Amino acid sequence: KRQFLPFASYAVDKTDFAYGYSLEVDGDGAIYTLELTEKIYQGLTRSDRGDLRIFNSRGETVPHYIRRLENRVREQQPARELKLFPLYRSKSSSQSNGDLNVRITTNEKGAIIDMNYGKQEPADRVLNGYILDASEYQQVFSEMEFGWVETHPDFVIRVNLEASNDLNNWQRIVSGHVLSHLHYAGHKLARNEVEFAGKKYRYFRIDWQGQTLLELNSVKARSPASYSEQPRQWSEYEVKQQDETQNAYYFYTGSVLPADRLQIKNLQRNTLARVSIESATDIKGPWFMRYSGIIYDLQYENERVSTAPIHLPYTTDRHWRIQVVDSEGRLGEAPQLSLGWLPEQLLFVAQGEAPYTLAYGSARVKRQSTPLAQLMLNEDELRQQGKLIKSAQLGSVVQLGDKSRLQPSRPPVDWKQYILWIVLVLGV
C-alpha cells in the first residue's frame, strides 16, 4: 500500500504557531514517525491538521504526512515444519501409487515413524507424492509452502492435496493446483504455495500425474491469520450545558481527536432511555446524526449491565449533543461523554539538520491549496533498500508564539479606501 507525503511549499515561521515540541531522533534515519498525542489534538485549530508543521534547525519546513492507523492488528502464528514421507508408484504404472502397497507405522501419539514399501525395488519405482505428518500440532492449517533446491530442474506441474485424520480415509481439499519453477531472462519464477479451507487435519498427502519429478526438501504449514481490534484511548468530557426543555445535554471536547467509538458514562442507576447522539464542528451547527437507539445501565443480580461501546464513523467534531427521545427518560444529573480514538501516525522526511521541531496550533497558517510535489513512500521498498523508517520521540516543550496565534489575524487596514472617503468628504 502506497502512501504520499505532501511537501510544504510556502513559507511559514515557528512563531506563527502557539505550541511546539522538540523531536528526539537518532540522526541517521531517512524518514521518522511518531504518534500524535491528545495534547497535540487539543492544540490544533483545524480538523484537517493543516496547522501542524515540522521545522529543521534552519527553520525550514520539511515534508510530512499524517495517516490513520489500521483499525485491526493482524496476528500471524509462525509457520510449522511438517515431516515428509515420500510415496512411489511403479514405473510401469500410470496410476498414482499404482502397484505399491505402503505400510505405515505410527506411535501412540499418531506420529508417523516408518513407511514400508514392500518388496518393490528402488530401481523400479518413481517418486509420485508425499505424505505430510501434522499430527504433532494442534492448530488448524490453511496454507502450505513447498520448498525444493534452487538447482531443481524447471517444471510446471498440477498437484492434488488430500487430508486425513486416520491415514485410511482421505478427502481431497485441493485439486489441480499449479506449482512451478522456471528460469527466464535471468529471473527465477517460482510458485510454491497452496491455500485451502482451514480445518483440523492430522495428515496431508500431495500427489501428481505424469513423469515430472518434484523433489521436496521442506513443507511449511501456516494457520489462518487472526485479527484483533487495536486498543483505543479514551477521553472523557463533562456536560457543558443542559437544555431541560429539550431534554438535551451538550458537550465540548476542545479537541480534534479522531474519534470512532463512544460511550455514555455516569448514568443514574437503572437507566434505560432512547437517545439521539449528534455532533458538529460548531455549536450553531449543522448537526449530524451519529447514533440513534437505546442506552442503558442496569443492575441485575449484583451484576452491572451497560451499553457496549458505540461504533461511530470517523469524526473530529468538537461539539456533541445527546437528546433523550423518551418523554420520561432521564440520564441523570451529570452524564459523561467518553470518546474512544486511535492516535494518528505522523511521518516526516529528515531534510536538513537536526534538531527538528514539531509546531502546531495556528489560525493564521493555511492548508496548502496549490499542487505540490509528492514523495511516493512504500515501506517495503524502503526496507529493502536499507532505509528504515525510524521512530522519533516527543522531547521538551518549545516556546514558539503565544495563544494569540489561535485567533485569526485581523485584516490589514485598507488605507486607500479611507483616503478616498476623506477626499470625497472634503470635496463635498
Q: What is the rounded CA–CA span in Å between residue 250 and residue 240? A: 6
Q: What is the rounded CA–CA span in Å between residue 352 and residue 343? A: 27
Q: What is the rounded CA–CA span in Å between residue 138 and residue 97? A: 29
Other CB atoms within 10 Å distance of the CB of residue 348: 24
At CB < 8 A and 24+ separation, what contacts does 73-77 make? 73/227, 73/228, 73/229, 73/230, 74/225, 74/226, 74/227, 75/225, 75/226, 75/227, 75/228, 76/222, 76/223, 76/225, 76/226, 77/139, 77/222, 77/223
The whole-number pLDDT of residue 258 equals 94
**Residue by residue, what is the 3-state secondary structure of the chain?**
CCEEEECCCCCCCHHHCCEEEEEECCCCCCEEEEECCHHHHHHCCCCCCCCEEEECCCCCECCEEEECCCCEEEECCCCEECEEEEEEEECCCCCCCCCCCCEEEECCCCCEEEEECCCCCHHHEEEEEEEEECCCCCCCEEEEEEECCCCCCCEEEEEEEEEECCCCCCEEEEEEEEEEEEEECCEEEEECEEEEEEECCCEEEEEECCCCCCCCCEEEEECCCEEEECCCEEEEECEEEEECCCCEEEEECCCCCCEEEEEEECCCCCEEEEEEEEEECCCCCCCEEEEEEEEEEEEECCEEEECCCEEEEEECCCEEEEEECCCCCCCCCCCEEEEEECCCEEEEECCCCCCEEEEECCCCCCCCCCCCCEEEECHHHHHHCCCCEEECEEEEECCCCCHHHHCCCCCCCCHHHHHHHHHHHHHC
Residues 45 and 406 sit within 8 Å (Cβ to Cβ): yes
Residues 307 and 264 sit within 8 Å (Cβ to Cβ): yes
The whole-number pLDDT of residue 3 equals 41
Other CB atoms within 10 Å distance of the CB of residue 82: 22
Q: What is the rounded CA–CA span in Å between residue 125 and residue 115? A: 15
- pLDDT, averaged in runs of 10, over the chain (428 residues): 42 89 86 93 92 92 87 80 89 54 84 78 82 93 92 90 93 93 81 91 90 89 84 94 91 95 90 93 94 89 86 94 85 90 91 91 74 45 58 91 78 72 87
43 CA to centre of own chain: 26
pLDDT tens-digit readout, 18-33: 999 999 998 778 889 9
